[in-house]
Amino acid sequence: MAAMVIVNNPGTWAAAYAPLRHAAWHGLTPTDVIFPFFLFIVGVAIPLSQPGPGRVLRRAAVIFALGLLLNLIGNPDLATLRIPGVLQRIAVCYAAAAALYRTTSWRTQSVVIAVLLLGYWAALTLVPVPGFGRGVLTPEGNLAAWIDRAALGPHVWKVSRVYDPEGILSTLPAIATTLIGVVAGAWLRSGRTPRARYTGFAWTGVAAIVLGAAWSLAFPLNKSLWTSSYVLVTAGLALVILAACYQAIDVHGRRAWAAPLVVLGVNALALYFLSTLTAIVLARTGARAWMFEHAFAPWASSVNASLAYALAFLLVWWAIMWGLYRTGVRVRA
């Protein structure tokens, strides 16, 4: 959540360090792992929380509606209102992964992951796209983009207008990302020893990274397309980091370093929604540009001032979330 707030709120989009930007198309930056890490941990939480069907449907509906509301506030024109979005993808992936967790075994879930990744790879490389042919992975010529334009029309992401990074077809491999988290969460709840748990995470993560990197030679890493290689590499990194955190926090009891992050994590939905809403308002009113030009730009280079603004924005929201945390307020869908 901390990383998401920072990368989404630079002082100016014209100046940002390369690691704080998404890859232009193919490739991977640290920013590109934030969203899949979030979907992965959403999956991990499902076996830990054991949500019932009613709670799953209610939570997914609320999260999807909040995403639409943010889109509506950002663009009140219903004719071009963007339908997909970050919260919308989280809602769909959560609902699908929770349903599979409740109705299938981890073996079946693993098969579903493989089918989603292989099927998505086959679809994008073998199915011909009208006007472009097969295997074209450009922003406009890939199958996922064609489906988004055909199904959503003017309701796609207005920045590109030819594809949506949270579009219809690319949500299928995003569900696979969430399901990998579900399997990891089930492993975490198993009766295995702590050492078996974190070593299992670590070795599986390394294997996924290696397999994904090899696959990327033919099917490039791409966040906007959420390619199958991207799923494996980012899920592998998430597994390795989960192994390290589990070993440090749960096994060795080193919790103090994580306490500031817990403040953000326990109210993740509120933090994302409110910080995004605030960013929209600041941008549309010109307040962000004014604050950046008068409070940050005069004393630092463009990229450093932009980063300083993002860090200050995060600090303000951390203080707000700390207030909620201290008073025991937990905002959940």
- Tens of pLDDT, residues 264-283: 999 999 999 999 999 999 99
Average pLDDT over residues 123-127: 97
In a domain, residue 313? The reply is: yes
Instruction: Determine the structural domain holding residue 163 and report its residue range.
Output: 2-326
In a domain, residue 333? The reply is: no
Q: What's the confidence (pLDDT) of residue 159?
A: 86
Instruction: Give the tens place of pLDDT for each residue, 238-250.
Output: 999 999 999 999 9
* Cα atoms found within 13 Å of the Cα of residue 35, Cβ hemisphere only: 28
Instruction: Give the tens place of pLDDT for each residue, 184-220.
Output: 999 999 989 999 999 999 999 999 999 999 999 999 9
Average pLDDT over residues 63-92: 96
Query: From the CB of residue 309, how many other CB atoms can be counted at a distance below 10 Å?
Result: 22
In a domain, residue 319? The reply is: yes
Q: What's the confidence (pLDDT) of residue 332?
A: 82
In a domain, residue 128? The reply is: yes
Tell whether pTM > 0.75: yes
Residue 216 token pair: 């990327």
Instruction: Give the tens place of pLDDT for each residue, 24-34.
Output: 999 999 999 99
Secondary element (H or E) of residue 214: helix 194-215
DSSP 241: H
In a domain, residue 332? The reply is: no
In a domain, residue 331? The reply is: no
CA distance 59 to 62: 5
Q: What's the confidence (pLDDT) of residue 331?
A: 86
Check whether 108 has a pLDDT greater than 90: yes
Q: What's the confidence (pLDDT) of residue 234?
A: 98
Q: What's the confidence (pLDDT) of residue 95?
A: 98
In a domain, residue 35? The reply is: yes
Give the relative orientation of helices 268-285 and 302-326 as an angle to the nearest 10 degrees: 140
Check whether 164 has a pLDDT greater than 90: yes
Percent of the chain residues past pLDDT 70, beyond the cut:
100
CA distance 19 to 309: 16
In a domain, residue 75? The reply is: yes
CA distance 190 to 186: 6
Q: What's the confidence (pLDDT) of residue 111?
A: 98
CA distance 43 to 181: 4
Q: How would DSSP label each residue in 198-209?
A: HHHHHHHHHHHH
Number of folded domains that form the chain: 1
Q: What's the confidence (pLDDT) of residue 191?
A: 85
CA distance 40 to 224: 17
